[in-house]
Amino acid sequence: MSNQRITTLFAKKLAGEASPDELRELEDFLRANPGEQYFQEILCNWWESGIPVVKKGDETMEERFSRILGQTSTSYPEGAEAATFPLPVIRSRANRTWKLWLAAASIAGILFFAGHQLFRPGKGNAALQDNEIVAKPGTKSKLLLPDGTQVWLNSDSRIIYANSFNDSLREVVLEGEAYFDVVKDPRRPFIVHTSGISIRVLGTAFNVKSYPQDPTIEATLVRGLIEVEKNNQPGRSRIMLKPNEKLVYNKTQDKVLEAEEAGQAGTPVTAKTAPVKPESISISTLPKNIADSIRVETSWVYGKLVFEGDAFRELAQKMERWYNVKISFRDSKVAGYRFTGVFENENIGEALQALQLTASFRYSMNGTEVWIDKK
């Protein structure tokens, strides 16, 4: 299909003037080219949010597009099944000729800018530095990889993949937290690289949490099968996870164990000589009767922050990412308070007030700075 034909179909779809045959033609094209569907979602979000009238000092189209690209997706997977996202229905607007012209012009400008934003070189792994998608603190994003795999990025997270992603091997680098719903393809394994472990799958749904400042890396399997191995022991520490199992890799413990062995041997520990350290990896089985929407490990995909028995200092770290704030404690005892609950639509002030119902503390705020002290 020619670029001109694609632009025409997108324009008619946005303007609400596409015939049933044209809608089917566009849908067939998107199914054959799943990577293009992400652009269509962005275009529809931009169109539905209103046509910008740019004045001096107003938001430019590029700024508006960047903002929309970083907003939280409102589509979530249902239960443990793969999410299906039908083509959005666009409301009809007045003046047919103007609508078509504006839609076509919008597509041309936005696709040019989208290519610049989404396919610029990243700063990560040299072999995987072609494409970088970022969810800033306080936001969440959804993206569709070229193979059709769906990825939800949690706050303060980024994913990097190469232009050769859709070839023989599908590899991504993750920093932060992401939920993956991987398209099954036995000929092309899907690999997620983090700072401490790598996860190999064929087709499955799972969550990975790997923030640089956290002492652990977590992998939680929703369905399918995944293989996990430590980066410092490639091929020697492979662990298979089954559905409802959670693996926790302790980065700090692994470094301590390796340092101890290096000191005893008098030589640095290498990938060839390092034995498997079971102390740095733990596996637990999660309850099967809990919906993913309220499970601690996956609830964020549904717009919920669930916490169970978290120390206040640990919960504060999650809240910092969730609300894009900086939380500081002035009392160590308060930082050790433990909480269980869920935040969904609350802002940072409402969330802190809810915590005050079960614990005695006071807080003050100045912009994005939050201070917590004893009462």
Render pLDDT for 88-109 as a digit per residue (tens, 0 to 9).
222 333 444 444 444 544 444 4
Within this chain, do residues 153 and 268 fall inside the same structural domain, yes or no? Answer: yes
Within this chain, do residues 238 and 107 fall inside the same structural domain, yes or no? Answer: no
Classify residue 291: in a domain, yes or no.
no
Within this chain, do residues 266 and 175 fall inside the same structural domain, yes or no? Answer: yes
Within this chain, do residues 36 and 87 fall inside the same structural domain, yes or no? Answer: yes
Q: Which of 118, 137, 153 is the last residue of a domain?
A: 118
Within this chain, do residues 227 and 363 fall inside the same structural domain, yes or no? Answer: no
Contacts of 2 (CB under 8 A, 6+ apart): none
- The whole domain housing 143 covers 120-286
Q: Which residue has the higher pLDDT, 263 or 84?
A: 263
HEC per residue, 127-174: HHCCEEEEECCCCCEEEECCCCCEEEECCCEEEEECCCCCCCCEEEEE
Contact 160, 128 (CB under 8 A): yes
Classify residue 94: in a domain, yes or no.
yes
Q: How many residues are recorded in the chain?
A: 375
Per the prediction, the chain carries an average pLDDT of 74
Q: Which of 93, 118, 143 is the last residue of a domain?
A: 118
pLDDT band (50, 70, 90) for residue 167: confident
Classify residue 297: in a domain, yes or no.
no
Q: What per-residue confidence (pLDDT) applies to 35? A: 53
Render pLDDT for 23-60 as a digit per residue (tens, 0 to 9).
888 777 776 765 555 455 545 544 444 444 334 344 44
pLDDT band (50, 70, 90) for residue 131: confident
Within this chain, do residues 143 and 268 fall inside the same structural domain, yes or no? Answer: yes
Average pLDDT over residues 233-256: 82
d(CA 142, CA 68): 11
pTM: 0.63
Within this chain, do residues 156 and 272 fall inside the same structural domain, yes or no? Answer: yes
Within this chain, do residues 272 and 137 fall inside the same structural domain, yes or no? Answer: yes
